[in-house]
Amino acid sequence: MTLRVLVVDDEPLARGGVRARLATQPDVSVIGECADGEAALAAMRAQRPDLVFIDVQMPGINGLDALESLSPPERPLAILLTAHAQFALRAFAVHALDYLLKPIDDERFADALDRARQVLALRRRDPAMPSPAPAWASRFEVRLGQRVRLIDAAQIDWIEAQGDYAGLHAGGQMHLLREPLHRLAARLDPAQFARIHRSAIVRLDRVAELQALSNRDSLLRLHDGTPLRASRTYVDALRAALLVVGTAA
């Protein structure tokens, strides 16, 4: 599977940074670059990329306006590039796959690209999947001996990596799902769940408070009192998501 990618940013250095990161990925083909929203809109209509990395703030038509100008079937998967977290709400409105805060962190970039791979793979297996909004997982089957229990996504407080499994924490209990965390992350609604560490995901409406630590990590406390550590790599995106949780539905 090859990802056909369009890179859009009015800053040549920013485009170069994205292009350099993508050049290390053998399954990615950069089909073009654009320096403004008008050119990006024309390129998305003409070339139909699978994925676009697009800057939010550009002269003329900005990145969000360009995406909103496309009909849902025309709109590619989109990863927004922005220096400002306040654009998170509009990112959800255009069903952006992810948004990366500048300066771009390599680990966050890799996570966003992996999410794009997973969603594109699902679409290619099921062409009937609506283009603007992937079918986010809403229920999971976990085994309890000979029994199978169904866990709704709304029941989950947080999720941790357990080797080839994911540990779903719900109502004070942990249930093992036979799926690695990185693959599960691509199936979770980003309006409801956020990665806080390479090995942990949290449901946003379960977060009660966030405390900055001296090393730029943060300590989260959930409503039930559970403490979780958020890596500095994910803190900015987490803060942005927490600002809009509950408003992007």
Angle at 53 between CA 115 and CA 201, to 5 degrees: 30
Cα separation, 186 vs 177, in Å, equals 15
Tokens of 153: 């996504």
Domain residue limits, the chain: 3-125, 139-244
Measured torsion, CA atoms of residues 110, 111, 115, 118, in degrees rounded to the nearest 10: 70
CATH homologous superfamily of domain 139-244? LytTr DNA-binding domain (2.40.50.1020)
Which whole-number Å values give the CA distances from 103 to 62, 87, 146, 241, in the listed order? 19, 16, 49, 18
pLDDT for 247 = 42
Q: Note whether 129 and 199 are within 8 A (CB).
A: no
Cα separation, 174 vs 29, in Å, equals 40
pLDDT for 190 = 82
User: Comparing C-alpha atoms, which of 201, 230, 192 is closest to residue 213?
Assistant: 230
pLDDT for 132 = 44
pLDDT for 237 = 81
Amino acid (one-letter) located at 103? P
Domain 3-125 in CATH 3.40.50.620? The answer is no
Which whole-number Å values give the CA distances from 161 to 24, 120, 193, in the listed order? 26, 23, 15
pLDDT for 127 = 57
Cα separation, 56 vs 58, in Å, equals 6
Q: Contacts for 149-155 with beta carbons within 8 Å, 24 or more apart?
A: 149/175, 151/175, 151/177, 153/188, 153/189, 153/192, 153/193, 153/203
Amino acid (one-letter) located at 198? R
Q: Note whether 236 and 98 are within 8 A (CB).
A: no
pLDDT for 83 = 78
Give the CA count within 13 Å in the CB-facing half-sphere of 106.
4
Low-confidence ranges of the chain (pLDDT < 50): 129-133, 246-249
